Structure 1
């Protein structure tokens, strides 16, 4: 199967699930909530109606929000920023993803907004089936063809960070977009995180006979801003997604792409057990450093990756069967940990 055909299929029928519930592990801030969708008589209301979103606002007239932008290596990555308060947080978040817009001064070195310059967000409507219908201005179509999929990933993953959004439908000047005009990516069904992000294929996997898992690896810019990059990797078909996630984290990123793994290649896993929405991972003592502490980066990478897959809401980490773990980030891992509300917060 040709690579382009696989991307088309993955965009339509991938199988990764999003779970964004829980407390913050990587940064401060509480999870956003979107009010019940407004009742409208027609989907045409999406041209002008923005969903009402309520969030916890900071005292400095800003709110912590996550945008997906492009880093210096070309990866689409989340960055959590303090954005201005507004009545439509989802609309404001997308507006802060426009190239050469107000987000430019807020992004860490090496990051770029990915929506085409001068793009306007004309409106967002959140429907009862958790679909965000986004109406962009015509400038949205003025993109470099090489960025087509990155733009779709960025918009989809940004909006599905809100608990009330599971899929995204695009419009331009009020008209439904059936496909992207340059690379012909199909948009005949709403986009979701099932499309993956920063896609790659394991060497031993075959298209059409594989399982996608999303893994969080590390990167760092030249100003020592360390951040996680989500990578959706196709692996040999398996029903044990949680085990596959941990195994692939230990295997690490593609060496040619410049990312690093937070888990050492010598890390040993004694067991991975999934019960309802809780997964328990028991590592051997090789997880610990010479100071007998577990790397906070490694633990957070495991939590982010597992809660991105397989219907997992919480992660319990053990070392040789013990839940009492001392970590380098001084977080409490003795109880099950939920997914953080914000990923890669920028400290100004």
Structure 2
């Protein structure tokens, strides 16, 4: 299925190298186009005036933007914050991923920025082949080695949120960075979203015979702020990625890692049907809770996970073949297809 091309083109051998030797996956798979059609030109993805970038205005001086940071359990997670309006949106988000910077006062309890203190984003330019070239100051190299992989994930997933970016190339003081200096992660190939995030392997999967799927599970900080964490899990090799995604959501997170399930283990899938830009998932009534309502957290996770992995722009959820069912959030209409949200994990401090 063409919508699944970035998953099948991901370098599985690279994933194996990461999990067995500590090396990074530097895949070149493409990000699904879930936003407006990209514009052209070197700066297209970083301008708020670009048709490719959609931002929500918080007030006259700020906009809703997504940054990737580390939570208290060590997961890399997206947060949508109200940041100052800027001509270069992508550059601004990177600047707000610097430890000790202005983002510190905006982060919920337990979260911390991953880019080393003092790091400056000298420039960010996008080439015609959708490669974002980021030039950092030398302070970027002062990171903690245990965060090396997390830093690369955060930068890559942050920038590939923009539809005009599919690959990321790093520079320091104008010179291409060929490898990360502490953990020796190679950077001779541009980073891409197919490198995964918060990687893990299913127990029944075998190295060299697996497919990566990114799943959105729940976490919660000590102030009861709930948020989704993307986890890329290697599963048994399959061409039916959509089914694998829903099956793994039902299976739930690795219990040792402290994330919460979004679908109960009794959930049954009656069918999954892709068509054009829409994928339809029909659950049995076991999806419903004791109150006969579909849990909102579960529905959002299904939408996030399916649009992330398959490239379909919208998800239609049914229960026993019907689009009319009651969800735990009365503000969201699920009788019609639902698109992936523009911003994940919005915060209100």
Give the TM-score normalised by structure 2. 0.89
Q: Which residue of 1 aligns with 2:32?
A: 18
State the distance in 1 between where 2:156 and 2:274 align. Answer: 28
Q: Give the drift of 1:52.
A: 2.8
Q: Report 1:198-237 matches (<5 A).
A: 198-237=198-237
Query: Any idea what the Cα deviations from partners look like across 1:22-70, whole Å, max 9, x if unmatched?
Result: xxxxxxxxx8x9753248xxxxxxxxx9943335434330010000000
Q: Which residue of 1 aligns with 2:280?
A: 280
State the distance in 2 between where 1:244 and 1:289 align. Answer: 23
Gaps of 5+ in 1: 22-30, 40-48
Q: Which residue of 2 aligns with 1:256?
A: 256
State the distance in 1 between where 2:149 and 2:168 align. Answer: 14
State the distance in 2 between where 1:240 and 1:91 align. Answer: 36
SS, match of residue 53 in structure 1 = coil
State the distance in 1 between where 2:104 and 2:308 align. Answer: 28
Q: CA RMSD in A?
A: 2.0
Q: Which residue of 2 aligns with 1:60?
A: 60
1:289 aligns with 2:289: yes
Q: Report 1:36-115 matches (<5 A).
A: 36-38=40-42, 51-54=46-49, 55-56=54-55, 57-115=57-115
Q: 1:285 to 1:6 in 2, by over 3 A?
A: farther
Kept in 1: contact 2:34–2:311 (CA 8 A): no
Q: Which protein has greater RCO, CA pairs closer than 8 Å, 6+ apart?
A: 1
Q: Give the drift of 1:304.
A: 0.3
Which is worse superposed, 274-283 or 80-89?
Answer: 274-283
Aligned length: 328
Q: Give the drift of 1:287.
A: 0.7
Which is worse superposed, 167-176 or 177-186?
Answer: 177-186
State the distance in 2 between where 1:206 and 1:148 align. Answer: 26
Q: Which residue of 1 aligns with 2:165?
A: 165
Gaps of 5+ in 2: 1-15
Kept in 2: contact 1:20–1:161 (CA 8 A): no
Q: Give the drift of 1:9.
A: 6.7
Query: Any idea what the Cα deviations from partners look like across 1:170-192, whole Å, max 9, x if unmatched?
Result: 00000011111111111111111
SS, match of residue 78 in structure 2 = strand
State the distance in 1 between where 2:99 and 2:17 align. Answer: 32
1:337 aligns with 2:338: yes
Q: Report 1:124-203 matches (<5 A).
A: 124-203=124-203
Q: Give the drift of 1:157.
A: 0.6
State the distance in 1 between where 2:84 and 2:248 align. Answer: 38
SS, match of residue 281 in structure 1 = strand
